[in-house]
Chains A and B, each alone.
Chain A
Amino acid sequence: MKKIKKMVVLLLTVVMMAGALSACGSKTDTKADNNDNTKTSVTTAAGGKLSGTITLAGSTSMEKLANAAAEAFMGKYPDVQVTPQFTGSSAGIEALLSKSVDIGNSSRSLKDEEKSKGAVENIVAIDGIAVIVDKANTVANVTKDQLAKIYKGEIKNWKELGGADQPIVVIGREAGSGTRDAFEELLGIKDACKYSNEINSTGGVYSKVLKTPGSIGYVSLDVLDDTVNAVSVDNVKPTEENVKSRTYLLSRPFVMATNGEISKQSALVQAFFEYMKSAEGKELIKSVGLVTVD
């Protein structure tokens, strides 16, 4: 009897392992399929009813926006398949130029080199990052240089910036976060930051700054309210207008680049951009914490 029981356990384990292994196998299969799909198949059915596939690739920072847009667009046109991939801005534009995707997502302005190869910069939204300090802090403005030094750990006390004699608690986001990525990139301090707190959500950063005297943190522009102080950077206030006019330093465009003008794209891609510009699309852009272009 005991031997039989042992056999049963053994057999089950073997079956389990086989199952797990085969599951892994199938995973790679679907990935391969996805790659095949990148060779677009856009077909516009007669009668104005849209169907086909739009592929996007590029910036990981734009993941939230691209996914939300894809979902909403597919909800509106059930026959359309929108597949966003997140490979990084440069890889996205490269994929666009090699014509393996329809839209290349880039969370920076396109380089002249990319433009000369035919990529057209369509800014769909602007990402703004606000620097926040606790309510009691008297420092209302920092320069780009000061901000970089604070985050590199070279300025450690608010008195160096004309504030109270109070140590600075440097709060930021976790590695991989789009906000952190943008913040460090815009200040030119990528991977040089010395955070004392790495918090994995905007809300977390916000509440930590709210409660910690002498702290500094960064959050996306949309969560600002008057429970914390938003600091001006280089004397420009972090407002929606300043982000739109691009005078505020900590902002970056979210570009959905196309190969040639939008008007030369397939009807499906044109419809996608029309959607992004519609009131519904603007609502969507705001809902993921971004600022609309116009």
Chain B
Amino acid sequence: MSDKSFSIIGNYKTKNTVEKVAHVIFVTCGLIAVVAVFSITLYMIISGAPAIFKVGLKDILFGTEWKPTAAHPSYGILYVILTSIIGTAMAIAIGVPIGLMTAVFLAETAPKRIANIVRPAVELLAGIPSVVYGLLGILILSPLIYKIELALYKNSPGHQFTGGSNLITAVLVLAIMILPTVINISESALKSVPSHYKHASLALGASHIQTIFKVIIPAAKSGIVTAIVLGVGRAIGEAMAINMVAGNGVNLPFPFSSVRFLTTAVVSEMGYASGTHKQVLFTIGLVLFVFIMLINLVLNKIMKGGKKDADI
């Protein structure tokens, strides 16, 4: 008899309670995400703010000396911030063209059989844990990059050799890590371009390649930009993999310098840090959090813009 109460014949009252209970459950579940975001924001501000007052915002953001355990400690993270920005930009510069071309290949030119191999491979790439990327970086990339470093800086005794743990290795690892994000989102953007655009272009005598670069990619622009921004988000927030390959010295981000990213600055020293040192690490977390928020704001703007385009 129980199924009767859920049927159309069931009386109005039971139906109404089921509706209401379900509604409450949905609202509660939905609120969990809201609560999580609010509590994280609040926690970041509460734990990151004390050091700002103690050390001074200017000294933290624009200081170039990171000596947290010295007798006269200094907590400047300018190089760390620069590393995060430049490292991410370089990873995007390498990863996005490759990712976009792969997406074009999958969406437009790939024979079905090959696409059926490439697509699962990309999906698998997305599922690989970041620590595995880090291991590959240490085992394969690092020694390779060190050989290049040895050759390049043979005659410059002033260079501090990094043993292959440097910005360029980290950037290469990051570039590979953002590939799946870029590929998947740009592919669906390319696929959602109305087919009559393509047909019209082909009918006017444009070649397939011309159509791709002059019509389809421009039409999928907002989707591709979304892919790039999400790629930036992934790259700037990655910690584990680059902690293993970046070298972790606080230096200006030159390709063959050992560098420290915002994420790795927190990860590598959290274990034994105490007092102001620990609080500054939280502040670094807060800076990272602000970066991520900015990226999200940009993303929201783009998504809204994209919708307007689609309406026309």
Contact = CB atoms under 8 A, between A and B. Distances in A.
Of the listed residues B162, B243, B273, the one surrounded by the most CB atoms of chain A closer than 10 A to its CB is B162
Contacts of B67: 175, 191
Contacts of B31: 8-9, 12
B160 A214 contact: no
Contacts of B35: 12, 16
A39 interface: no
Nearest to B46: A24
Nearest to A157: B157
B165 A208 contact: yes
A215 interface: yes
B157 A198 contact: no
A198 B39 contact: no
Contact of A176 (B39, B160, B273): B273
B163 A208 contact: yes
Interface string B236-280: 000000011001110000000010100000011101111001000
B46 A171 contact: no
Contacts of B267: 200
A174 interface: yes
A86 B278 CA distance: 14
Given A171-B163, A200-B271, A16 B277 contact: no
Nearest to A24: B46
A181 B143 CA distance: 29
Interface string A168-207: 1111001111100100000000110011111110001001
B68 interface: yes
Contact of B268 (A9, A86, A198): A198
Contacts of A9: 31, 34
Given A9-B31, A20-B39, A174-B248, A200 B268 contact: yes
A149 interface: no
Contacts of B213: none
A167 B269 contact: no
Contacts of B146: 212-213
B269 A196 contact: no
Interface residues of B, number: 45
Nearest to B161: A167
Contacts of A16: 35, 38-39, 42
- Chain A contact residues, majority secondary structure: mixed
A168 B161 contact: yes
A197 B34 contact: no
A183 to B, nearest CB: 13
A169 B277 contact: no
Contacts of B163: 169, 171, 196-197, 208, 212, 214-215
Interface string B60-71: 000000111111
Nearest to B139: A211
Contacts of B142: 211-212
A118 interface: no
Interface string B114-136: 00000000000000000000000
A156 interface: yes
Interface in A10-29: 12-13, 16-17, 20-21, 24
A289 interface: no
A259 interface: no
A198 B80 CA distance: 14
A115 to B, nearest CB: 24
B251 to A, nearest CB: 9
B244 to A, nearest CB: 8
A196 B46 contact: no
Given A60-B274, A175-B67, A176-B69, A195 B157 contact: no
A198 B42 contact: no
Contacts of A17: 38, 42
Q: Nearest 9 pairs between A and B by C-beta?
A: A176-B272, A212-B163, A169-B163, A167-B161, A198-B248, A191-B70, A200-B268, A175-B69, A196-B162
Given A196-B163, A197-B247, A199-B268, 5 more contacts: A86-B274, A177-B272, A198-B248, A207-B138, A212-B163
Interface of A: 8-9, 12-13, 16-17, 20-21, 24, 60, 63, 86, 153, 156-157, 167-171, 174-178, 181, 190-191, 194-200, 204, 207-208, 211-215
